[in-house]
Structure 1
Amino acid sequence: MSLPPTTVPPADEAPPRRERGRDDACPGALRLHSADDGSLARVRTPGGLLTVRQAQALARVSEELGDGGLDLTSRGNLQLRGLAATCGGELAAGLRDAGLLPSERYDRVRNIVASPLSGLDGAGYGDVTAWTRELDAALCGGAWEELSGLSGRFLFAMDDGRGDVAALSADVTLIATGDGGAVLRVGSGADGVALEVRARDVPRAAALAAVEFLARASGTRAWRVRDLPAQHAVTVDGLAARLADEGVEAARIGHERPSDAPGTPPAPGVVSGPDGRCAVSVLVPLGRVRAAQWRLLAALASRGGSGELRVTPWRGVVLPGFTADSAAAAAREVTDAGLVTEPDSPWAGVGACTGRPGCAKSLADVRAHATRAVAGTPRSPGAPPVYFSGCERRCGHPGGHWVDALATSATDYRLTVRDTREPDGVTGGGVMDVAAEQLADAVAAARGTA
């Protein structure tokens, strides 16, 4: 089965941009979102970094206040669902005690993704976790009070030079370089601007880049850099001047620009690193994990010795600090618990929004349909991601090259090959309308030919 050469989807199927006059309703730990299955809270975990104690606290509040599960988001954050609308105070207290709510004022702006294998596998140019923590402290520290005005959708990325999170179209990206410094990029693609900064200035440079965006966005109601009108765009000269005013040295990088090529997420399984140390990369099917599974991951993180979990932007978790033997044993435990540690798993590269019954906007139970379509279907090496969406908002869809499975009714889907780097977001490869029971063959064909 192949995609027939027909017209591309109409423009109104593109992901919606900010609506004029509409406030940013992005949820947080304090601002709950009302869904069909109860209230939803989004807990920011900058860089996906969690201690064992914090992970245990999340399992506890998910059971005591929510539906007993956690959702991993495409930004390495975590969501609690099924909350009572009146639980806000109790939830905030539990998160605050665990260090998961360091600043109420800046809670929703702590969106930072970081290379999840940084410092673990010998790739990249070092470990960017320190930069991540320093940027988070800068965001919460109040040195630039205007940063509280950032949208909950604004995204920072800390890439260790391997190019994984640099490909996620963040608003402000820091890419480590071989000389110990970093490229500071604002925006992405042809419209992005970039400067080189020293390692010691990286967190401040990232925060100041966001300040420059806010100054340029004044009066435009733009949530993100890509939403800025052309006459308000961030420029190299403006960014350099902003940094210089705060004592941050920056240099132009000439005509060589950081690549926007899609990055590679960590493959599930044991990840070997220097000095015989290993990590375990875990994939969570559709990003939904039960509290018991989450507690197992926390226990393994403690047993591994690092005491740390790293939530990835690809709805996975990396557990550092094992020997080769203990990593293999931990991977077996994770697999037995229903999570994924096999690199060739059919679940690799598969995602879905919440869908019915949790989301009122969804037309279908996309998770049930995705499960039936994927289960037992072998994954071709190099196949692009596929994402199942219940409506045209396509919440949480991947970037780069991907197969879009969009519900058009409770039982029907439209498959399209998309590429967020293209001007209209599609490749021109055509569309296919199929019934839910045909999804397995149709998705396999689309991923094989995309």
Structure 2
Amino acid sequence: MTAEVKGWCPGAHRPMASGDGLVVRVRPFRACLTDQQALALCALAEEFGNGMLDLTSRANVQIRGVAADRHQDLLRALWDIDLLDADPQTEGRRNILMPPDWVSGDQTYRLHDALAKAIPDFPDLPEKMGYAVDTGRSPCLSDASADLRFERDGDGHLMLRLDGAAKGWRIDERNAMSAVKDALLWFNATGGKSAGRMARHLRQVSLPDKWQSCTPRAVTKPLAPGRDNDATTFGVPFGNIPARDLIRLIQAARLTELRLLPHRLIRVATTVPDIAPFITAPDHPLLRIHACPGAPFCPQATVETRDLAMRLAGSVGGTLHVSGCAKGCARPGKADVTLTGRSGRFDLIRDGTPWDPPAAAGLLPHDLPDLIGTA
């Protein structure tokens, strides 16, 4: 069976059918949920879905298992709590990553809102394309999935960089959206749509020299679980949260706001004690493990994934990706060890992606511990 690569991600207006119902993706504005919005989402997951919330690698939240005949009711509920764009096309294209330290009215906040307003006027683009506003106190989004990046150069000036390029160009906030639009028009004019993403396009096409004049700040502290500066960042195994556990966290810690970060992380502006299943240890082995829902929850998967990934968590020193099919939804990049489901068995790929040639094929689960231990 060949995996069907959709070329788009589910949204709220445009959900994706899965083995357990519709997957409805919610894109919180500025990647932020108030406590009331988060509690309401938990209630909606229990009323309309399977009682779970999924954090995505691009800082969104998904409700799974939604019945098709209840989708419109769910949309109305999301609108009531200010988690839905009125325009389906805008909602589907509003892929904007935010750093954790923005404050209302600062430049990061203003750039986000300018982007959200300008997106309907941008040219037609592949639907997975997105933006990172990495203009906080220190850069932290350079390894997250985005195609155009607002950053700062070594002197602290605002710059725009296209993903896949080492350098970008200095811009002024007043012309930031016109700079983005120029870059997107160039992307389309040079055949970028066929590549699908900016970094993939730049492997085939040379970037104009005028857009390669300054270097972004180096990342000194990547995003990771832990406690610092009176804040707590949580990781969640596979990004999969029982709604009742998130309710317990919000109420126990008296949270007023949750900020969603790439890599399925949540940051709150207070120091919170450990509460299962949330992880605060940056080196926890489960945070190196990536697995999609797998069978029977995804119709393209032919293997169970997450229970297997949990059993194998201690067997790999680096990253492990267990993918139900060759699409690689849980981790689109390389992993030290990747297991790809194929016709009920597994392919083993070392230092690669689910669609790379395997080092071994046709493996059963009991074959795997010894084999991956040698990776």
Smaller-chain TM-score bracket: 0.7 to 0.9
Task: Sort the Cα spacing of 1:162 and 1:183 in 2 relative to 1 into closer, same or farther, 3 A.
Answer: same
Task: Sort the Cα spacing of 1:158 and 1:232 in 2 relative to 1 into closer, same or farther, 3 A.
Answer: same
One-letter amino acid matched to 1:164: C
Tell me the distance in 1 between the aligned counterparts of 2:105 and 2:260. Answer: 13
- Shifted more, 180-189 versus 411-420: the winner is 411-420
Q: Which residue of 1 aligns with 2:348?
A: 414
Tell me whether 1:431 sits opposite 2:359 in the alignment. yes
Q: Which residue of 2 aligns with 1:331?
A: 273
Tell me whether 1:314 sits opposite 2:263 in the alignment. yes
Contact 2:8/2:128 (<8 A) preserved: no
Contact 2:11/2:92 (<8 A) preserved: yes
- In the TM superposition, residue 53 of structure 1 has moved relative to its aligned partner by 1.8
Tell me the distance in 2 between the aligned counterparts of 1:384 and 1:262. Answer: 21
Q: 2:285 aligns with which of 337, 346, 354?
A: 346
Q: Which residue of 2 aligns with 1:243?
A: none
Q: Cα deviation per residue 1:192-230 (whole Å; 9 max; x = unaligned)?
A: 6610234x44xx625741553145415944443245488
Q: Which runs of 5+ in 1 are unaligned?
A: 1-12, 120-126, 240-250
Q: 1:197 aligns with which of 157, 164, 171?
A: 171
Q: 1:295 aligns with which of 221, 227, 247?
A: 247
- In the TM superposition, residue 153 of structure 1 has moved relative to its aligned partner by 0.6
Tell me the distance in 2 between the aligned counterparts of 1:91 and 1:188. Answer: 38
Q: Please report the RMSD computed on the Cα atoms of aligned residues, expressed in angstroms.
A: 3.6
Q: Which residue of 2 aligns with 1:139?
A: 115
Tell me whether 1:252 sits opposite 2:195 in the alignment. no
Q: Which residue of 2 aligns with 1:153?
A: 128
Q: 1:111 aligns with which of 86, 95, 99?
A: 95
- In the TM superposition, residue 132 of structure 1 has moved relative to its aligned partner by 4.7
Normalising by structure 1, report the TM-score: 0.71
Q: Which residue of 2 aligns with 1:176?
A: 152
Q: Which residue of 1 aligns with 2:142?
A: 166
Give matches, 1:25-424, under 5 Å. 25-45=8-28, 48-104=31-87, 105-116=89-100, 118=101, 130-141=106-117, 143=118, 145-147=120-122, 149-159=124-134, 160=136, 162-177=138-153, 179-189=155-165, 194-198=168-172, 200-201=173-174, 205=176, 208-210=179-181, 212-214=183-185, 216-217=187-188, 220=191, 221-222=193-194, 223-226=196-199, 228=201, 235-237=208-210, 252-253=213-214, 256=215, 264-266=222-224, 268-269=225-226, 271-273=227-229, 278-300=230-252, 303-304=254-255, 307-320=256-269, 322=270, 327=271, 330-332=272-274, 334-335=275-276, 338-374=277-313, 377=314, 383-397=317-331, 399=333, 402-418=336-352
Contact 1:46/1:133 (<8 A) preserved: no
Q: Cα deviation per residue 1:278-307 (whole Å; 9 max; x = unaligned)?
A: 112211111111111121233356x25xx2
Tell me the distance in 1 between the aligned counterparts of 2:97 and 2:168. Answer: 19
Normalising by structure 2, report the TM-score: 0.83
Contact 1:183/1:194 (<8 A) preserved: yes
One-letter amino acid matched to 1:197: I
Contact 1:167/1:262 (<8 A) preserved: no
SS at match of 1:175: strand
Tell me the distance in 1 between the aligned counterparts of 2:123 and 2:10. Answer: 15
- Shifted more, 154-163 versus 289-298: the winner is 154-163
* Identical-pair percentage: 27
Which one scores higher on RCO, CA 8 angstroms, separation ≥ 6?
A: 1
Q: Cα deviation per residue 1:381-411 (whole Å; 9 max; x = unaligned)?
A: xx53221111111113154664322223424
Tell me the distance in 2 between the aligned counterparts of 1:418 and 1:262. Answer: 26
SS at match of 1:167: coil
Tell me the distance in 1 between the aligned counterparts of 2:76 and 2:235. Answer: 30
Tell me the distance in 2 between the aligned counterparts of 1:109 and 1:69. Answer: 25
SS at match of 1:92: helix
Q: Which aligned runs of 4 or more in structure 1 are off by greater than 4 angstroms?
A: 127-132, 227-234, 256-259
Task: Sort the Cα spacing of 1:163 and 1:186 in 2 relative to 1 into closer, same or farther, 3 A.
Answer: same
Contact 1:413/1:435 (<8 A) preserved: no
One-letter amino acid matched to 1:373: L
One-letter amino acid matched to 2:243: A
Task: Sort the Cα spacing of 1:178 and 1:412 in 2 relative to 1 into closer, same or farther, 3 A.
Answer: closer
Contact 2:349/2:356 (<8 A) preserved: no
SS at match of 2:146: coil
Contact 1:41/1:79 (<8 A) preserved: yes
One-letter amino acid matched to 1:174: F
